[in-house]
Each structure stands twice: as C-alpha cells, then as structure tokens.
Chains A and B, each alone.
Chain A
Amino acid sequence: ILNVEQSPQSLHVQEGDSTNFTCSFPSSNFYALHWYRWETAKSPEALFVMTLNGDEKKKGRISATLNTKEGYSYLYIKGSQPEDSATYLCASPTGANNLFFGTGTRLTVIP
C-alpha cells in the first residue's frame, strides 16, 4: 500500500483568486506522479504526468511542480474560474501496475 495524501480535503475560493494544493507521497522508489481533474458526472481527466525531480508542467492556468526527494507535488491554479470547480486527484504508481490515488482536493470556485 502506498500512502498518497492530499491537502486540503476541500477548498472554497472566490473567482479570480489563485490557489494551490498539495500531494505528498513516499519519496523512496519513486516512479511517476499523476494529476487528474474529476468534474462531477464526468470522467477523471488527466492533467499531468511528472517523472523528474524539479519538473514543472503547465496547462493554461494550471501548473504543477514536483519534488521527488522530499515527496511532494503542488498544483497551482491562477485566476480561478467557476469551471475549475472539480476534485483534483493525484496518484503515484508503485513501479508495479497500479496507481495509488489520494482522496482528492475538492475545489469550489465561487462566482
């Protein structure tokens, strides 16, 4: 079992605010770190797969950083919009076949 933890569990921000949340994972035997966005009544959507320490990825207003030595990744959203409201999941494989998911950060952007 891999302990992938996310914080906070839920977050409410005003439209236009920037926000960030954290994913922590065991730093030993690191293989990859995935971020997904899961909107209500839709499929989880892949945002990033990150593998290198210090890696930073960006997709529009969303970006993520990775620190494999200390075992954490941050997801940032700049200028939050109501359509960003979703649950953001991170996951890490063990090097075997499955992804261990965190319980997610549920983001609500208030117009």
Chain B
Amino acid sequence: GAGVSQSPSNKVTEKGKDVELRCDPISGHTALYWYRQSLGQGLEFLIYFQGNSAPDKSGLPSDRFSAERTGGSVSTLTIQRTQQEDSAVYLCASSRAPRSGAGGGETQYFGPGTRLLVL
C-alpha cells in the first residue's frame, strides 16, 4: 500500500514568511508524528497525534510552530514568521495505535521529508 507522503519535498522561503508543510499518513494509522533534523543534529521530536486525543506538543520549539490534524488523517505543520534556524528536514511518521497508550513502542513509518531552507 501507499506509504507516508509529504509535500512539498523542498521549500525555500524568506525570513519572516509563513510556511505550511503537509503529511499524509498511511491509511489506518492513528498515530502521527512530526520530527525535524537540523544540519549536524539528530532527529528531534516536535509533536504527536493519536486518534482524537489532545496532541502532545511538548517538542515544539516555539509558539511560532503549530500543527493540526484534520479528520484523524492529514496533518499540517505551520511555521509562522520563519527564521533561519528553522532550516531543516521536516519528517512525518505514522504508526498503528500504540497498544499501551504510549506512542513509542510501535514501528514508525517515515515519509520522505520536506527540506526547508529559510534565507
């Protein structure tokens, strides 16, 4: 079946502009995660959605970052007033519903990422 898809694959924007990144998870996966990898850094957790529960936003680096997930499927990550330090690869992943309520034990399937460059 189709894997996780993300769009756009690349985005170049000017400092101060807003950007929206989109993620289409695998059909039937109720858990959805956003990560980012800045140059020379490891993958950094941003936000987690599970079904209709309130999202875990503990990884969002500032209030310029927000995400929503409509209808339990597609998710959009929005970065307002972008800064140069926001330049990174933004990865989305999805998984089956975690068995114990915690999201870390299920295999996560990643999309190809969006490469964001803020000039």
Complex Cα–Cα for A65 and B42 (A): 22
How many pairs, one residue from A and one from B, have CB atoms within 8 Å of each other in the complex? 74
Q: A44 to chain B: closest CB distance in Å? A: 5
Across the interface, which residues of A come within 8 angstroms of B111, CB to CB? 43
User: Interface size class for chain A?
Assistant: 20 to 34
Q: Which of B42, B58, B109 has the most CB of A within 10 A?
A: B42
Asked if A46 and B109 make an inter-chain contact with CB atoms under 8 angstroms apart, the answer reads yes
Q: B31 to chain A: closest CB distance in Å? A: 8
Asked if B42 and A98 make an inter-chain contact with CB atoms under 8 angstroms apart, the answer reads no
Q: A104 to chain B: closest CB distance in Å? A: 7
A86 at the interface (CB under 8 A from B): no
A72 at the interface (CB under 8 A from B): no
Residue pairs across A and B with Cβ atoms less than 8 A apart, 27 shown, are: A34-B108, A42-B112, A43-B91, A43-B112, A44-B43, A44-B91, A44-B93, A44-B110, A46-B109, A89-B43, A91-B43, A93-B103, A94-B104, A95-B102, A96-B102, A96-B103, A96-B104, A97-B104, A98-B59, A99-B43, A99-B45, A99-B104, A100-B45, A101-B35, A101-B43, A102-B42, A103-B41
For the A-B complex with A96-B104, A97-B104 known, give 19 more contacts whose Cβ atoms are closer than 8 Å: A34-B108, A43-B3, A43-B109, A43-B111, A44-B91, A51-B105, A92-B104, A94-B104, A95-B102, A95-B104, A96-B103, A97-B103, A98-B103, A99-B43, A99-B104, A100-B45, A102-B42, A103-B42, A104-B42
